[in-house]
Structure 1
Amino acid sequence: MPAREVARLAKVDVDTPTALEVDDLVHEQEPALIARGAAYATEYARIRENAGILAKNLATVVVALRVRHDDMRGASGAYRKDVGEIYAGLGEGDREKLQTAVRWHVGNILRRYLTPRELEKLDLKPTSPLERQQDSRAANAAIVAAGRAELQAATSKKGRKPKDNELPAPTVRETADHLRMVHAATNIMNQLSPDVINHAMTDGQRAKLDEELETIQKAIAKLRRITRKARSEG
């Protein structure tokens, strides 16, 4: 049942609700309390559902204002004055919370509205906040997968019981662990973003990253010599 209909039947004002105390409601019978609760719950869900759409629409308005002001970075005083009027009726807490959501949507909308060349000219990152969020989640998942593969490999080694004066034969699990670890390492390397390296890192951080990459490159080269030799001898 639509939220407004539930509220009407329960005789609950969901448009301008007031905070209630228990003493305000104890006189109501169970069916009335259930109907009242359902009205509040339904209206809460409706507001939550529409909140994202409203924030996105507001972000679209903000981008349109940037176009009108010929100020796609939103830095001019005239643009800021217009945007300030939009939020003028909100309290500080509500304004900050909404502005944070709107900025996220603005970042995504700009990446769809502007061309890569226009983004570069404005010194804006080519990736949207949504893409960076997805990349971050993928990177975290890759790191977790790598940690899990490393733990599984360590567990496999602990479980080995070699015979006296004899090297243990690799198990099926150990060979699978090697493939899992390489796959996890590849996923992590694929998460390294040229955009972050070029625009977010300091020179010192880039130098440190280059050192680490060189170490990885040497380790890979050493392992590849082993795999190539083993394959040729096989």
Structure 2
Amino acid sequence: MPTLELDDLAGEGEAALVARGSAYAREYARIQGQQTTLLKNLAVVIVSLRIQRGDLRGASHEYRQIVADMYRAAGIDPDNSTNLQSAVRWHIGNLLRRAATPRELERADLKPTSPLERLQDARKVDAAIVKAAKVSAAADAAKSSRKKGTKTEPDVGAAIKATADHLRLAKVAADVLGKLDRHVITKDMADGQRKALDRELAAMERKIASLRKLTAPPAKG
């Protein structure tokens, strides 16, 4: 389909332009739907090839050559198929996590979570961090107000709010910690990054231990 210029449509009236625009939009929507199906089907083919060759990761030279030949037979130069391969990789990743067992994924050094799950987790992490920042800011503001002796609300109300803030902060902190991925820590992090994370976790442990001395129920007897 040739790309239009404004001069090409200079002689068309409003009704003709609207009809042309509707046709283009309809064709675009049709192609988009077909693209998704074709990408998913291509992913099934590629995962099938990996399973047949016992190469779930698709890292061997033989497998890569087969896929390159497949693209070349379709008239697609592998060196210029970045967008296609990136789009297919998403579906491959999701399909692999449904087709392989956790042990098979581990042997292939693949993350146990799919690209879709990682995207969802990333969004949850972002939301947890934003929530933590908001709750922390609210708690800091209340604490500052109490220190200055500001009478913006009754003392009983301030105590109730401070109590609720502390419970919310603890819940948010637990949520954020729960988002740490074991695979990322063991497989993706460099040694220096793991050491840095370990220092942060150790500091958390000390702070938690200090706070738990205040929350632990008194010993009986």
- Range into which the TM-score falls when normalised by the shorter chain: 0.7 to 0.9
**1:25 match:** 9
Residue identity matched to 2:137? L
**2:192 match:** 204
| Superposition deviation, residue 190 in structure 1 | 0.4
**1:84 match:** 68
Show the 5 A alignment for 1:129-140: 129-140=115-126
Q: Is the 8 A contact 1:69 1:78 kept in 2?
A: no
CA pair 200-147 structure 1, distance change in 2 beyond 3 A = same
Residue identity matched to 2:64? R
| Superposition deviation, residue 37 in structure 1 | 0.4
Q: Is the 8 A contact 2:131 2:172 kept in 1?
A: yes
CA pair 76-216 structure 1, distance change in 2 beyond 3 A = closer
Q: Distance in 2 between matches of 1:93 and 1:79?
A: 16
Q: Distance in 2 between matches of 1:70 and 1:219?
A: 48
| Superposition deviation, residue 94 in structure 1 | 6.2
Q: Distance in 1 between matches of 2:4 and 2:131?
A: 49
Residue identity matched to 1:22? L
Structure 1 SS opposite 2:216: helix
Higher relative contact order (CA closer than 8 Å, sequence separation 6+): 2
Show the 5 A alignment for 1:42-191: 42-88=26-72, 89-90=75-76, 95-160=81-146, 161-162=148-149, 170-191=158-179
Q: Distance in 2 between matches of 1:204 and 1:106?
A: 32
Question: TM-score with structure 2 length normalisation?
Answer: 0.85
CA pair 53-78 structure 1, distance change in 2 beyond 3 A = same
Identity of aligned residues (%): 49
Residue identity matched to 2:161? R
Question: TM-score with structure 1 length normalisation?
Answer: 0.80
Q: Is the 8 A contact 1:111 1:126 kept in 2?
A: yes
| Superposition deviation, residue 226 in structure 1 | 1.0
Q: Alpha-carbon deviations, 1:110-149, whole Å to 9, x = none?
A: 1211122222222222222222222221111111110111
Residue identity matched to 1:39? A
| Superposition deviation, residue 201 in structure 1 | 1.6
Q: Is the 8 A contact 1:142 1:187 kept in 2?
A: yes
Q: How many residues align?
A: 212
Worse-superposed segment, 118-127 or 68-77: 68-77
